[in-house]
Amino acid sequence: MTTSLPSTYIEQMRTLLGQDAERFLLSYDEPRTQGLRINPLKTEIGSVLTAELRKMFDLEPVPWCSTGFYYGDHRPGRHPYHAAGLYYMQEPSAMSAVEMLDPQPGEVVLDLAAAPGGKSSHIAGKMQGQGLLIANEIHPARAKILAENIERMGVSNAVVTNATPDELAARFPSFFDRIMLDAPCSGEGMFRKDPNAFQEWSEDHVVMCAARQWDILEQAVKMLKPGGTLAYSTCTFNRQENELTIERLLAAFPAFTLVGTERIWPHDHRGEGHFVAVLRAAAGEGGAREPQAAGAAHGRRKAERAPRGKGQPAAPAAAGMAQFLAWAREELPGFAPGQGDALLFGEALYGLPQVGGSSLSAAQLSGLRIPRAGLHHGTIRKNRIEPASACAGARCEPCVGAARL
Distance, CA of 223 to CA of 212 (rounded, Å): 18
List of residues 6+ apart from 354 with CB closer than 8 A:
132, 338, 339, 340, 341, 360
The count of C-alpha atoms lying within 13 angstroms of the C-alpha of 354, restricted to the half-sphere facing its C-beta, is 11
Distance, CA of 175 to CA of 361 (rounded, Å): 14
Cα 39 to Cα 96, 121, 154: the distances in Å are 16, 8, 9
Q: Cα 36 vs. chain centroid, distance in angstroms? A: 15
* Contact of 130 with 157, CB cutoff 8 Å: yes
The 10 Å CB-count burial string (b at 16+, else e) for 196-232 is: ebbeebeeeebeebbeebeebbbbbbbbbbeebbbbb
Catalytic center residues? 235
The 10 Å CB-count burial string (b at 16+, else e) for 123-152 is: bbbbbebebbbbbbbbeeebbbebbebbbb
Strands 108-111 vs 132-136: parallel, antiparallel or unpaired: parallel
The count of C-alpha atoms lying within 13 angstroms of the C-alpha of 327, restricted to the half-sphere facing its C-beta, is 16
